[in-house]
Amino acid sequence: MTSTETSLGPQLRNDCYVPMAYNIYTMLNTQFNIPQHSSESAPVPIYTEDQEQIDAVHSHLTSILDSTPTVTRSNSSWIYFFQRQASCEEGGGVGKGGEEGGEEEEKERNEAERVKEKRKRKKWWRRLRSFFRAAKKHPESSSGQREQEQQQDEGQKRKVAWAGRTSDDYIFSRYTVGDQLGKGGFGVVYEGRRLDDDLKVALKYVMKTQHTECIFIPDHPKPLPKEIALTILANKGPRVPEIIRLLDWTDHPDHFVMVLECPSPCENLVEFIRHHGGSLDEEKTRQIMWQAARAANMCHLRGVFHRDIKLGNLLINRETSEVKLIDFGCGDILRRTPYRSYSGTALYSPPEYHSRGKYYGGPATVWSLGTVMFTLLCGHFPSDYDLFLLQCKRWSIPGLSKECCDLLRALLHEKPSQRLGLGRIMSHNWFKTISVPEIPVSATLVSELHSVSVQTQGFLSKAAQDIKKPL
């Protein structure tokens, strides 16, 4: 076997066409009686000096390409099977040619190495042009390939919409889908209508990833995506107007859909502040904070740690000033042990997470509420200097009451143990003059809340173990 044969044999191995190559060699030897060289490790090129045989082989291989769309080698590559050496034409025979033959073999070897390196740098699909040309003769195969390419090019938004709109018969037999309301990292929210009563809803499509976590919750035999499970838990028990309500949902292998209430007309607090000149007055802030604190406290009573309470996740009705907490996608089951990862928004994260690498759910939620309150009043996030003045009891803004500054200082205390308890926020003196009436808590309501809380605490450890991906 010549050096040229040796260099071309491994190339066929690296391209992963050894089985096809063996079949072609067997066919050639049977139909055309062309002598072939053999190797224990891989097939090698076939050489012949008969031009008629070369033409016949080329014609036969071309017909194979045209009739077999699964063949993925280009037409030019098949020439390796019936290549002739220059030394054969000069009368030297295969493996002969003296010094000129040696130089020619060296050039061929270098060229083969260059082609090999070039192919490594190319993407795999760039080597399949001949396959796509041959596939044009097979409309079904070509159509499927073009459709797949088109879907890949449409981007994440289209992938989410397509997955939901083509496979959720349960949802689309009960709801109509309208305009897009918003989008996030892995999901899109659409406006919709419930067919039974024309109720306006929001349909949230979320694509699953390898990091999507599922947990067990009471009354559900199978694990649910964490966002669905936490939203169900947050709504378990008596109705809480300050928490977004989950109306329906479906779970699929690659995505899930949530049907949520859609208050109207509403906007998040980021847009609300912008429409009011960049900040709010104390009275409007008081109404918003009372509702936000109540929503956060009810979540904790039901065993849910939202972990991403921020301006963008608080919706407000422009006409009634009603506030709703939304988006439990960053949340977790509330537990007594510390958390060591933070999946919420960094600007609302507690300082102990950055200094110690761990934090507790209650104090972290209080810090987030303090950040929301500060931003509503001032129009910007608290700086290090603002936090320093708060600790020294020297922070104030003209026009703000003493009770307002005291509450801010209690919410944004550097030490988590010194922060105001989440359940005590609504009892602060600042809320005594609130114009929004507090909903009375009856003995029945307290009993139901206690039952839900005890039920939740009973499965906390089990749910933590059932999470697919650890924290």
Q: Which residues pair with 32 in a beta bridge?
A: none
Q: Contact 134/66 with Cβ under 8 angstroms?
A: yes
The one-letter code for the residue type at 130 is S
Exposed (0-12), middle (13-18) or buried (19+): which is 203, by Cβ within 10 Å?
buried
Buried b / exposed e over 414-452, threshold 16 CB at 10 Å, is eebeebbebeebbebebbeeeebeeeeeeeeeeeebeeb
Q: Where are the alpha helices (DSSP H) in 154-262?
A: 155-167, 169-172, 226-234
**In sequence order, what are the beta bridge partners of 257?**
205, 250
Task: Please give the chain's pLDDT, 471 residues, in tens.
Answer: 444 333 333 333 334 334 444 455 555 555 555 554 444 444 445 555 566 766 776 677 667 656 654 444 444 444 444 443 333 444 444 444 455 556 777 888 888 887 776 665 544 334 334 333 443 444 443 344 455 555 555 555 545 444 444 455 788 889 999 999 888 767 899 999 999 999 999 999 999 988 899 999 998 889 999 999 999 999 999 999 999 999 999 998 889 999 999 998 999 999 999 999 999 999 999 999 999 999 999 999 999 999 999 999 999 999 999 999 999 999 999 999 999 999 999 999 999 999 999 999 999 999 999 999 999 999 999 999 999 999 999 998 999 999 999 999 999 999 999 999 999 999 999 999 875 444 444 333 444 444 434 333 333 333 333 333 333
Residue 254 bears catalytic tag? no
Q: Which of 168, 308, 327, 332 is catalytic?
A: 308
- Would you give the end-to-end CA distance of the chain in angstroms? 60
Q: Which amino acid is at 64?
A: I
As to burial, measured by CB atoms within 10 angstroms (0-12 exposed, 13-18 middle, 19+ buried), residue 132 is middle
Same fold, 156-262 and 266-439: no
pLDDT for residue 106? 80
Determine the Cα–Cα distance for residues 60 and 88; give it in Å rounded to an integer: 24
CATH C-level class of 156-262: alpha beta
Cis link prior to 265 (omega < 30° from 0)? yes
> Coil, strand or helix: which one is 256?
strand
Domain limits of the chain?
3-140, 156-262, 266-439
Instruction: Compute the distance between CA of residue 372 and CA of residue 413 in angstroms, rounded to an integer.
Output: 14
- Tell me the C-alpha distance between 471 and 458, whole Å: 20
Burial status of residue 249 (CB atoms within 10 A of its CB: 0-12, 13-18, 19 or more) = buried
CATH architecture for the domain at 266-439 = Orthogonal Bundle (1.10)
Q: Is the dihedral of CA 372, 378, 379, 384 positive or negative?
A: negative
CA quadruple 192, 195, 200, 205: dihedral positive or negative?
negative
- Taken in order 379, 240, 283, 405, the sign of the CA dihedral is negative
CA distances for 187 relative to 52, 205, 344, 356, angstroms: 62, 5, 16, 33
Rounded (10°) angle between helices 361-378 and 402-411: 140
Question: Has 310 been labeled as part of a binding site?
Answer: no
Burial class (CB in 10 A: 0-12, 13-18, 19+), 366: buried
Q: How far is the C-alpha of 405 from the C-alpha of 422, rounded, in Å?
A: 17
Please compute Rg for the chain using Cα positions: 35
**Euclidean distance between CA atoms 470 and 453, whole angstroms:** 24
Distance CA 160, CA 251 (A): 14
Measured CA to CA, the distance from residue 160 to residue 183 in angstroms comes to 10
Residue 296's nearest CA partner among 268, 251, 326, 336 is 326
- Distance from C-alpha of 159 to C-alpha of 155, rounded to nearest angstrom: 6
Beta pairing partners, 225:
214
